[in-house]
Amino acid sequence: MEKNINEILKPIQNEGKKVKIGLIGLGTVGSGVFKTLRAFDNVEITKIAVKNLNKPRNIEGLDNSIITDNPYDVVNDSEIDIVAELIGGLEPAYDLIKTAIKNGKHIVTANKELLAKRGEELFKFAEENNKVILYEAAIAGGIPIIMPIKTILAGNRITRIEAILNGTTNYILTKMDVQGASYEDVLKEAQELGYAEADPTGDVEGFDAAYKITTLATLAFRKRIKIENVYREGITKIRAQDMHAANDLGYKIKLIASAYLTEDGKADVRVHPMLVSQKSTLAHINYVTNAVSIEGNPVGAITLSGPGAGEFPTASSVVGDILAIVSELGTTDYPLPMMRCNHSSDADIINIADTVNKYYLSINAKNNKGVIGKIGTICAENNISLASIVQRCVSDDNTADITVITELVKEKDMQNAVKAFEDDEFINKVNSMIRVQV
């Protein structure tokens, strides 16, 4: 693989001195960055910070003399021009980046959590010090999305984003769909194959996707989105039965990170499972692939898809950011103005309770006469119109699973209806409530 990359990437010649790069982190992504940058002879990695000096590293040509277990050796090195932070998390990443900026270094990062939670402070500090923070790898791995929005799509008013931004959850949902298996069984398999962490909470509960859509919506809508205002719901309650029902109804179930901008400028930003029409591009994004669909004026609708993680796809974005900064060094006193943060106000966020959606419900009820009528009555009492209602099967215990698809309804009315269902003597349980793509 290393040989192929070095053959494919034509070295860039530079008569001047090499730009010095410091890496913080030499894991999967850091290793890919190291291997890829060797193909360019106008840059040089002069220092790398790692957590464990004794960890074996299968990286050909790695000079151990440039490795340190103290990341402050990197950010305080006066010769380094650009620091790539690839360790993730809030601390020590936040302080390391701030220290590096204070010491006159530009930053490239893949840290989606840091950007979502502390990005406003870091971008402001970078601007005060006339430094650039680039973060293409933080949103969708190898898919170029940040720079296109900042440059080619800069003339658009972007009003809608729907995206699959987490490969682990997409892999699990795809396997559940293909195999008809339970969430628990597929998660175990994904962990054994290395697609899911031992503690998968950050992925399966939607945190990872929420961090990414927070930054992406901030960028697209040109107003700051606060992570605490982003509605988040994971995939842990999705059942094999829901997958089967969705297929019968012409849908696929995906974990969708979405952001909508209303005509009056309010933002609806969220992450949750969604029934996506099989006619939609996102319905066919499977396994660990990611995709971002954008609607804007004048461009219309576009979708970018590709690998959302991995050594070389993510390294592609990191290296692209590094080279973008390198191309500006020594040529201007104010590098990459289009790539800088220009958000001066917070977005007005719509609470999930005030949103309007279509819903899929799976209801388990006693197989009595009038139960379907009772479901219809409860819906009517809560201002809910039904698009379809189907009794799917009767079990040995004389209970039936009933599938409901609603028309557009307010979230607060839907929640009230679910409570009424659960309080009704003939209804045993609402197994699932999943929003449906509109």
Instruction: Please tell me which residue, 4 or 29, carries the higher pLDDT value.
Output: 29
Provide mean pLDDT across the span 59-78.
Answer: 95
Provide mean pLDDT across the span 2-18.
Answer: 53
4 pLDDT tier (thresholds 50, 70, 90): low
| pLDDT tens-digit map of 230-267 | 999 999 999 999 999 999 999 999 999 999 999 999 99
Q: Would you say residue 8 has pLDDT above 80?
A: no
| pLDDT tens-digit map of 118-160 | 999 999 999 999 999 999 999 999 999 999 999 999 999 999 9
Q: Cα–chain-centroid distance for residue 325?
A: 24
396 pLDDT tier (thresholds 50, 70, 90): confident
Active site (catalytic) residues: 212
* DSSP per residue, 153-174: TTTSEEEEEEEE--HHHHHHHH
Identify the residue whose tokens are 């998660």: 187
User: Which residues make Cβ contacts (< 8 Å) with residue 109, sequence separation at least 6?
Assistant: 84, 85, 86, 93, 97, 115, 133, 134, 135, 137, 138
**How does the average pLDDT of the chain come out, rounded?**
93
Helices 311-328 and 28-37: crossing angle, nearest 10°? 50
Span of 20-24, 50-54, 236-240, 339-343 with lowest mean pLDDT: 339-343
| Burial 388-401, CB ≥16 within 10 A → b, else e | ebeeeeeeeeebbb
10 pLDDT tier (thresholds 50, 70, 90): very low
Backbone angles phi, psi at 178, to 5 degrees: -70, -40
Name all domains of the chain by residue range, CATH numbers in brackets.
2-137+311-339 (3.40.50.720), 146-307 (3.30.360.10), 355-436 (3.30.70.260)
- Which amino acid is it at 181? A
Provide mean pLDDT across the span 38-64.
Answer: 92
| pLDDT tens-digit map of 331-380 | 999 999 999 987 779 999 999 999 999 999 999 999 888 899 999 999 99
Q: Would you say residue 7 has pLDDT above 90?
A: no
Q: Supply the Cα-derived Rg of the chain in whole angstroms.
A: 24
Pick from 106, 96, 104, 232: nearest CA to 166: 232
Pick from 316, 308, 313, 306: nearest CA to 40: 316
Distance in angstroms between the alpha carbons of the first and the last residue of the chain: 43
Predicted model pTM: 0.93
1 pLDDT tier (thresholds 50, 70, 90): very low
Q: Would you say residue 312 has pLDDT above 70?
A: yes
